[in-house]
Structure formats: C-alpha cells, structure tokens
C-alpha cells in the first residue's frame, strides 16, 4: 500500500543543536502509530515541522504523494493534515457546538457566516451533532467550554480535528492532564476513529501506547532509534537505554 504521509530526511537545528536529525517515516491509510521518546527528544518539534508551524532546514514532507514542505499550516490542514495540541487551545467562552460548527464552516470556506446563522444551517447542525455524539459530548453542546471537565475538553479537540476531515491525524499527548478516571473516554474516542484514517500519536502513557498502536516509533535526541512492532520495542537494547528502562523490564516479567 502506498503511503498517505511521508517524511524524508527531515533536519532542523537551533543554535547548532539538532532537534530533528535526518528523520524519515511514513504512514499508510489506517495506520495507528505511536511516537514515543524521552522529554526533549524532539517529538513535538517534529509535529511542528511537518504541520508547517516550523520550517525545516532540509527534508521533504509529502501528503498523498504531493510535496507539501513549503505550504503554510492552513493549506496543509485543508489538504488533510490535521493535528491536536499538547495543551488545549479552545475558546473558553464558546460552546462545543460553536467550536465544531466553526470548524465545519472554515473547512467549507463559509466561516464568514458563523455567528448567529449556523443554527439555521441544517447540514452544519447535523454534522456538528454527529461529531459531538460520537465523542459523547452531545449533552454538553450548549455549555461554555470553561464549564466542562478537562477530559471532555480533550475529547472536543478530537471532535474538532475530525470535523476538518483529516487524511492524517497527529495527536500530541491526547491524554495529557486528563485524570486517570477519564482516560478511558480518550481511549474509547481513539478506538472510534475512522478505520481508514492514518493516526500518529505522541504519548507518554505507555499502557495507552501499547493498547493503541500497531507500530511504535522511538525518537531520541532528534533521531529515530526504533521503528517496529509494540512486541519488539521493549526488547530493543537502545530503546531500553534511551527511554523505557524499568517499564520494559516490568513488561518482560509479566
């Protein structure tokens, strides 16, 4: 199967420090890939580079076979490369319904008709309610974001990403800051993602990683040191030394 998303020999340095050093990877439609590594490994920087929020020193990014390296972030979103952020970037005085409706209207080039009129657009309302229902947020549609739990805000971010009709979804620590009692909701949302959607997830919760991913990529000091199956990653000596350590040892015992 041809890859839907490709990164080839991506490099980026800040003041002589390489934060992305010859990074190459690819995703096919339907892939579920976890990108892991120690703090400072360059994981979020990698996402910023491929989504257009940072400019690489060299390297190529392709989506659907087309080179998008020099496109701005918004054009990449319109082509289907969508991300979430490590920290929520929601509008606290807007409702989930307003967030999703705005995303749909922006996607369709109709954002100028947002305020006061989207309620009269049956197509927008129907799709908005579908996304909210899928993520278990329909009952909160009219609540202000500041009034809903943080875990629900994280779910809203996933709903927003899906409203943009991604071909490739990059999730930057979707469970970060979410109480352990609510992480099951995040996992359920991940399990409900469209089967043909390629997903790359950055996550430090290794139990979540092993339940989600069919493939694990390990980044350390800006370089990929492992790309393979979850079954093999804990046995890799370089990964044990750079990142997993005691977690790998614990899994080998159980």
Per-residue model confidence as pLDDT tens digits over 26-59: 999 999 999 999 988 899 899 999 999 999 999 9
- Residue 89 and residue 2: Cα distance in Å, rounded? 33
Q: Indicate whether 236 belongs to any domain.
A: yes
State how many domains the chain has: 1
What is the model's pLDDT at position 142?
A: 95
Output the pTM of the full model: 0.88
CATH of the domain at 45: 3.40.50.300
Q: Indicate whether 95 belongs to any domain.
A: no
Radius of gyration of the chain (CA): 19
Q: Where residue 98 falls among pLDDT bands split at 50, 70, 90?
A: very high
Q: Indicate whether 46 belongs to any domain.
A: yes
Q: Indicate whether 121 belongs to any domain.
A: no
Instruction: Please report the DSSP string for 7-19 in residue order.
Output: EEEEEEEETTEEE
SS3 at position 207: helix
Residue 141, CA distances (Å) to 25, 137, 248, 253 in order: 38, 6, 42, 46
User: Nearest 5°: phi and psi at 188?
Assistant: -60, -40
Per-residue model confidence as pLDDT tens digits over 118-172: 877 889 999 999 999 988 899 999 999 999 998 899 899 999 999 999 999 999 8
Q: Indicate whether 10 belongs to any domain.
A: yes
Q: Where residue 113 falls among pLDDT bands split at 50, 70, 90?
A: low
What is the model's pLDDT at position 249?
A: 54
Per-residue model confidence as pLDDT tens digits over 161-204: 999 999 999 998 888 888 887 788 889 889 989 999 999 999 88
- Residue 178 and residue 150: Cα distance in Å, rounded? 6
What is the model's pLDDT at position 254?
A: 42
Q: Indicate whether 100 belongs to any domain.
A: no
Say if CB 131 and CB 100 are below 8 A apart. Answer: yes
State mean pLDDT over 78-104: 87
Q: Where residue 21 falls among pLDDT bands split at 50, 70, 90?
A: very high
Is the pLDDT higher at 197 or at 252? 197
Instruction: For the beta carbon of residue 106, count every other beta carbon within 10 angstroms.
Output: 17
What is the model's pLDDT at position 118?
A: 80
Q: Could you list the residue range(s) of the whole structural domain that residue 216 is in?
A: 5-88+167-185+197-253
Q: Indicate whether 191 belongs to any domain.
A: no
pLDDT over threshold 60, residue 70: yes
Q: Provide the strand spans (E) within the chain.
A: 5-14, 17-27, 32-36, 58-63, 66-67, 81-83, 168-172, 198-202, 215-220, 223-228
Which residues, listed in sequence order, are joined to residue 138 by a DSSP beta bridge? Answer: none
Say if CB 55 and CB 221 are below 8 A apart. Answer: no
Q: Indicate whether 48 belongs to any domain.
A: yes
Q: How much of the chain, in percent, has pLDDT values that exceed 70? A: 92
């Amino acid at each position: 199967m041809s890859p839907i998303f490709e990164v080839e020999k991506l490099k980026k340095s800040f003041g002589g420090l390489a934060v992305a050093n010859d990074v190459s990877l690819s995703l096919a439609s339907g892939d579920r890939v976890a990108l892991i590594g120690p703090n400072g490994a360059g994981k979020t920087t990698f996402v910023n580079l491929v989504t257009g929020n940072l400019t690489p020193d060299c390297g190529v990014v392709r989506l659907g076979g087309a080179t998008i390296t020099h496109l701005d972030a918004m054009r990449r979103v319109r082509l289907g490369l969508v991300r979430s952020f490590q920290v929520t970037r929601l509008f606290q005085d807007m409702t989930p319904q307003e967030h999703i409706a705005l995303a749909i209207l922006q996607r369709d080039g109709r954002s100028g008709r947002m305020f006061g009129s989207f309620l009269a657009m049956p197509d927008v309302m129907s799709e908005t309610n579908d996304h909210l229902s899928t993520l278990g947020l329909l009952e909160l549609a009219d609540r202000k974001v500041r009034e809903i739990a943080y875990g629900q805000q994280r779910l809203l971010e996933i709903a927003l990403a899906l409203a943009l009709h991604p071909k490739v979804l990059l999730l930057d620590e979707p469970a970060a800051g979410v109480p352990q009692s609510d992480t099951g909701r995040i996992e359920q949302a991940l399990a409900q993602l469209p089967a043909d959607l390629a997903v790359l997830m950055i996550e430090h919760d290794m139990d979540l990683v092993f339940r989600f991913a069919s493939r694990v990529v390990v980044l350390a000091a800006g370089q990929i040191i492992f790309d393979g199956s979850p079954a093999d990653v804990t046995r890799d000596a370089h990964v044990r030394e750079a990142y997993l350590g005691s977690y790998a040892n614990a899994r080998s015992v159980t």
